[in-house]
Structure 1
């Protein structure tokens, strides 16, 4: 521990609205290292499921709305030594900015009042940058229409605009290119206490983000860079992202690196800061567009790309540790001042839930993403954005091919999520690359990459694959092209898919065993396995934000249980698993966008004990006797209108079963409430009735499995209205609520353990929890002790 450090810390958790699995993992890493270092930790969080079962590390968990009032009440009641907002979402920074002068000697760790306030107050941000002679954009915030129009005349079009409300929230940024569009924007009905914010538009500039860490002694390090392939003006998380930023020469990189470090110093950031830049490669003009003084989706992406343990490092820096003396696991020294060197490219491609074209703008519209790795930009394009299995690129190509040049040009001017496909078609038609770069703002290196891919497609389409060009094709991530005899018949390693370690740790951190691999081509495999039996865990192809949180939770519990039972876990998926730090050395993680691991034969069949699969989108060609399908499969669905229901998690060894967790739900007019871990409130009569129904449904089930039942009460009787085999989204609540952990029990049964015969009803439904999760209207959560919950239940049922 360092001198004058806090002993008790309050963490401001993410809000329910965020549903950000990256922050959930960051919270897990943060509280685990704090626990190992001996700190008392509390958290205020709206939804405890976002903690990914890290509850054992906390001294106190407060479940209520994450607001400044509730944070202040907690401080006044429990008197923590410090508040940590950097693992919360943007709301946490807003809370910190409102606490100035109200919390006495309680320290704010990481992001101070000034930095937090500047993320909301654009005027303060601009002023601070100007004072420190940092490049800044022309900006105004006003409710005076004349002042707004006068400012716009002084800077000219294009501009971007948004409305800022008094509650710190704002509308999304809107691109405005002329007076007509401005008048339409201004004509939208005003809201009380609303200001209009206008900025010079820098659409067409290239966008970069630099993430730096800094300790309180002004030691700094650049963790990594990210580049947007599409130009600024498109929302950062709707762009295709590349790390490291490959279009920067050293001179440009050093300019922005120096500006990032200067900004961190100006705001006295202790911990982490991500700085966004807009750069004009023609004029070398550049601006800082925003900064994020906390952990975010970007920092988690960088943590995966660079293997730098960001979340763990940030909290230790905030506590006063020197950058070069960080503690990876509470004891092992890690030199955080050594900037990571990366020998590969990592790319993040946004995903939309529709095949239709979506116009891109300054507001985020994508609902998910996929991350891939490679040794060339061509390889990551072919694995991600141009992967026909993920994005239906063949269908896109057929549609774009039918457009005339004017229609295609229109799609170049007004970018959609098909932008890379549109540019491929434009290059096929011999549109000039300098003209395309001028119009789109996409730099020449990426247009050259697309042109290389176009030429490759022509070689394949014309059946011109030869021994002279096959190596170049495979370097671009193209393998097993159609029925090409050259590829199918050759034994050359260059035509094969292999697994390559992500070499991205600095020399001073070579002892950090991060077992992270990806499938690539043309390089001898460096996957090394121990002699333990293995459980292969295959994760989904691509999922929504909510599904990702569930998957992350299930994976975390699976890995814990597999490790505790003496086996080795291998996680294979089309997108990386952003695992908590403590598990990255226990599991081999392989990012496999083509699901080729089985064909590679790199894991000896006799070492594979079991395959656990929740990639339900894949057609399983394995021996089904060795594959346990963990994703949900609907077995029964009966539509019945009822106000009272129970959802039950049932785990069975094929003969006997346990019901470790029940969720009781009651709907009352327009309101509802749910109680997790309802076992201890269930009457003997209801236990008997539910047990009889479960036995009837499982009569023909003779294998280890998990089932999710939904029972509805109709005319005083329980009936089974829904039945799923496998894990549903309820698993997090079941796991948090139950003292009998379903996933660990499942792993033990898979390994051959049995449930005892002749268990009594009390033993079948046994649950030893002393805390119960109450959910009101599916959005308000509260953790209550037994007596409090019983009182609440009686009150709620009387209201009905």
Structure 2
């Protein structure tokens, strides 16, 4: 079955953790299954905080810039049997394409050299697809002006163009509709070694993506489909996404599915392949615009939508397993060839930090996204993009009402992130749906859903709710959306909020129990809980990549610790969290964007031991079971220093531990941070820090985590900052210290105590052998004890 000659595997990790946050749990699932199957794993990664505490799975962890040169050096030094690039980002494919002929007998798992190169070389991509008789857009990349103009005459306008630079970077795509615009583009100043790339414009086509899995025996299955509500011409991550693609009838879906499988076969891709399509519903034209032969942000979204264990399946397929004989772990089997059939809609809506309008185009502008579930288009739109609690839609509504028809039409033809609100206003003014669809490129099912939302909004505003329309309104997810108080007060049973299981993945059998739920409306609840005592973890809506990374890490560690302590972890989130597979079968996850679970009474109150709240604003302050985990600033003194200690403290209300201290030094215009310096502190420094901490905690009598910033000024240590709860340092502290801070906290919340009269050595105790050096918050290096001592000695020479 599997490739018997492979025993050691090098994993190419992602580059920057905050940009590739969606790969963190996928990376954990991948190395977890490889470890269970007996493989020795090494990883090269720039930022080890993306590993989600999975360092225990690795034989070697190389913290270096993820480049072809460093990967090649590793191969030539350690001679791994294989390289796995599927959990790296796009950079990993570039590295694979550059290693052709240089790595001897080392195998490439997943995308081969040709597939990796074709993601960068448009000419190879077009050539291979043309040979396989797959639909692809004509394209040219040249620095010859005559050749460029001849090509444009052959395909005609409109076109899109961009400049490709020698360092593989490129400018954004520019839409060009006539010769005048082309001449202006060509006249722009160029750099040396720059080529101009041009292809036919498909602006206004619908965009779909299909993700397929394929094994080395040419068996394939479709994991899921995604549809962009906005048409091509708007960046994929700025568009509102829907899964499954509901505007495709069966014949269209099967046609694009077959193209996807044929493409994976044409490049002989083993593992995963996401194929992007442009489709014109009027002319029936379809084109493959790109393919991604690795795990990505889209595959993580699909894994949440379908519950299909994508990362685990991909790792095993790359090792030679049959698609229908995969393992969830080193023992239980499942049939990966059975394609998921979802009973709900999952949507992802982009989020922007600032409330104003952003013009949308080929370049990404969104900061983050929110994911919601529902049983209808209206429900997911009401929960997500039109949720006034998230997007200030009522303010948008009032602003758009002031525009005359001409001004509104300008908003329609020049799309912004307010597009759905603009269309709602246009439909309210009786603009015709076919005309709006032709102008915006948005398919009619979405305009029909918006019309239904308008009709129901009018009913709510005018208070005309009766038995005839209340059920339809509840189906549309109106309940819980801002102005629906009349509906909330209705005694009708159909208004009851319930919890539904996401019945999605067909392989969900006794070996793969799905504990993923979402709050909706209906008659019966499907929430199933064990008899174990419970700890509930409540999470807020997150709108920044860094916060998502911290939250994923914290939720994973909390869920694991709660389970290991014999309790049932229940994660209730305003935004869904997709746990690593080993935890997913133990934790109950509930997507609750309107925070209704608190009032539903579905969880026996006596079974709840603790409620850990990660949100910033606590609501039930009178409940002594609630522990606020997010940071609360207690002290902040503005005092500059070149030497700082960042200290994490865990307290039971009487005694405390200091398992992690980060040394921070500003030297020569650079910021140096060395983690877990407990073992390198002098007795005097330990005594001074411990004395300061004791003074700060003198009046604190409850279990908690504290973060302190202690600066050195005139040879004395002073506390300048004090936080109660979790700060963004939690990943560094947890990864840096052999003492698991979060697990210690859970034990203390359950009633355990810290011993009295501990020595300084015991208070600062940890068992670390590797120490993380960070320079300017972006360059990382793992040091051993001797290297750390030398680095600290050098930094302390210039302490003031």
Question: How big is each residue's C-alpha offset from its partner over 1:445-478, in whole Å with a ceiling of 9 and x where there is no partner?
Answer: 1110111111111111222111110000000001
Structure 2 residue runs without a partner (length 5+): none
Aligned to 1:275: 275
Residue 744 of structure 2 corresponds to residue 745 of structure 1: yes
- Is the 1:335–1:509 contact (alpha carbons within 8 Å) kept by the matching residues of 2? no
Residue 661 of structure 2 corresponds to residue 672 of structure 1: no
Aligned to 2:324, what secondary structure does the other structure show? Answer: helix
Tell me, in whole angstroms, the C-alpha distance in 1 between the residues paired with 2:491 and 2:294.
50
Aligned to 1:332: 332
How far 1:485 sits from its partner (Å)? 5.3
Question: How big is each residue's C-alpha offset from its partner over 1:414-442, in whole Å with a ceiling of 9 and x where there is no partner?
Answer: 10110000000000001010100000010
Question: How big is each residue's C-alpha offset from its partner over 1:562-594, in whole Å with a ceiling of 9 and x where there is no partner?
Answer: 011000010011111121011111100000010
Tell me, in whole angstroms, the C-alpha distance in 1 between the residues paired with 2:275 and 2:668.
48
Residue 729 of structure 2 corresponds to residue 726 of structure 1: no
Residue range with higher mean Cα deviation, 104-113 or 14-23: 14-23
Tell me, in whole angstroms, the C-alpha distance in 2 between the residues paired with 1:799 and 1:686.
17
Shift in alpha-carbon separation, 1:135–1:509, aligned structure 2, 3 A: farther
Task: Map 1:29-40 to 2 at 5 A.
Answer: 29-40=29-40
Tell me, in whole angstroms, the C-alpha distance in 1 between the residues paired with 2:309 and 2:423.
37
Aligned to 1:708: 707
How far 1:612 sits from its partner (Å)? 0.2
- Is the 1:631–1:726 contact (alpha carbons within 8 Å) kept by the matching residues of 2? yes
Tell me, in whole angstroms, the C-alpha distance in 1 between the residues paired with 2:240 and 2:484.
31
Aligned to 1:582, what secondary structure does the other structure show? Answer: helix
Tell me, in whole angstroms, the C-alpha distance in 2 between the residues paired with 1:767 and 1:161.
57
Aligned to 1:98: 98
Aligned to 2:659: 660
Tell me, in whole angstroms, the C-alpha distance in 2 between the residues paired with 1:182 and 1:663.
55
Aligned to 1:790: 789
Aligned to 2:637: 638
Structure 1 residue runs without a partner (length 5+): none
Aligned to 1:694: 693
How far 1:797 sits from its partner (Å)? 4.4
Shift in alpha-carbon separation, 1:186–1:321, aligned structure 2, 3 A: same
Aligned to 1:596: 596
Tell me, in whole angstroms, the C-alpha distance in 2 between the residues paired with 1:412 and 1:94.
39
Task: Map 1:17-32 to 2 at 5 A.
Answer: 19-32=19-32
Residue 430 of structure 2 corresponds to residue 468 of structure 1: no
Aligned to 1:700, what secondary structure does the other structure show? Answer: coil
Shift in alpha-carbon separation, 1:409–1:74, aligned structure 2, 3 A: same
- Is the 2:460–2:486 contact (alpha carbons within 8 Å) kept by the matching residues of 1? no
Tell me, in whole angstroms, the C-alpha distance in 2 between the residues paired with 1:184 and 1:12.
42
Shift in alpha-carbon separation, 1:484–1:763, aligned structure 2, 3 A: closer
How far 1:21 sits from its partner (Å)? 1.9
Tell me, in whole angstroms, the C-alpha distance in 1 between the residues paired with 2:624 and 2:18.
40
Question: How big is each residue's C-alpha offset from its partner over 1:702-731, in whole Å with a ceiling of 9 and x where there is no partner?
Answer: 000001000111111111111111111111
Tell me, in whole angstroms, the C-alpha distance in 2 between the residues paired with 1:158 and 1:107.
44
How far 1:510 sits from its partner (Å)? 5.5
Aligned to 1:568: 568
Residue range with higher mean Cα deviation, 784-793 or 564-573: 784-793
Residue range with higher mean Cα deviation, 103-112 or 515-524: 515-524
- Is the 2:22–2:296 contact (alpha carbons within 8 Å) kept by the matching residues of 1? yes
Aligned to 1:532, what secondary structure does the other structure show? Answer: coil
Aligned to 1:684: 683
Tell me, in whole angstroms, the C-alpha distance in 2 between the residues paired with 1:752 and 1:51.
30
Tell me, in whole angstroms, the C-alpha distance in 1 between the residues paired with 2:22 and 2:277.
23
Tell me, in whole angstroms, the C-alpha distance in 2 between the residues paired with 1:368 and 1:486.
31
Question: How big is each residue's C-alpha offset from its partner over 1:59-83, in whole Å with a ceiling of 9 and x where there is no partner?
Answer: 1100010000000000011110000
Residue range with higher mean Cα deviation, 681-690 or 255-264: 681-690
Aligned to 1:449: 449
Aligned to 2:305: 305
Aligned to 1:650, what secondary structure does the other structure show? Answer: strand
Aligned to 1:757: 756
Aligned to 2:563, what secondary structure does the other structure show? Answer: helix
Residue 379 of structure 2 corresponds to residue 379 of structure 1: yes
Aligned to 1:488: 489
How far 1:193 sits from its partner (Å)? 1.5
Aligned to 1:389: 389
Aligned to 1:224: 224
How far 1:180 sits from its partner (Å)? 4.4
- Is the 1:174–1:361 contact (alpha carbons within 8 Å) kept by the matching residues of 2? no
Tell me, in whole angstroms, the C-alpha distance in 2 between the residues paired with 1:124 and 1:533.
58
- Is the 1:208–1:278 contact (alpha carbons within 8 Å) kept by the matching residues of 2? yes
Aligned to 1:555, what secondary structure does the other structure show? Answer: helix
Tell me, in whole angstroms, the C-alpha distance in 1 between the residues paired with 2:426 and 2:523.
33
Aligned to 1:420: 420
Tell me, in whole angstroms, the C-alpha distance in 2 between the residues paired with 1:417 and 1:485.
30
How far 1:489 sits from its partner (Å)? 4.0
Shift in alpha-carbon separation, 1:730–1:507, aligned structure 2, 3 A: closer
Residue 513 of structure 2 corresponds to residue 513 of structure 1: yes
Question: How big is each residue's C-alpha offset from its partner over 1:666-699, in whole Å with a ceiling of 9 and x where there is no partner?
Answer: 1113212110001111111111111111111111
Tell me, in whole angstroms, the C-alpha distance in 2 between the residues paired with 1:343 and 1:583.
24
How far 1:234 sits from its partner (Å)? 0.7
Residue 85 of structure 2 corresponds to residue 85 of structure 1: yes
Tell me, in whole angstroms, the C-alpha distance in 1 between the residues paired with 2:70 and 2:326.
32
Shift in alpha-carbon separation, 1:232–1:523, aligned structure 2, 3 A: farther
Question: How big is each residue's C-alpha offset from its partner over 1:233-291, in whole Å with a ceiling of 9 and x where there is no partner?
Answer: 11111110000000001110011001000000000000000000000001100000000
Task: Map 1:553-564 to 2 at 5 A.
Answer: 553-564=553-564
Aligned to 1:621, what secondary structure does the other structure show? Answer: coil
Aligned to 2:489, what secondary structure does the other structure show? Answer: helix
CA RMSD of aligned residues (A): 1.5
TM-score of the superposition, structure 1-length normalised? Answer: 0.98
Aligned to 1:126: 126
Residue range with higher mean Cα deviation, 134-143 or 373-382: 134-143
Tell me, in whole angstroms, the C-alpha distance in 2 between the residues paired with 1:670 and 1:593.
44
Q: Number of paired residues?
A: 798
Shift in alpha-carbon separation, 1:14–1:525, aligned structure 2, 3 A: same
Tell me, in whole angstroms, the C-alpha distance in 2 between the residues paired with 1:69 and 1:277.
34
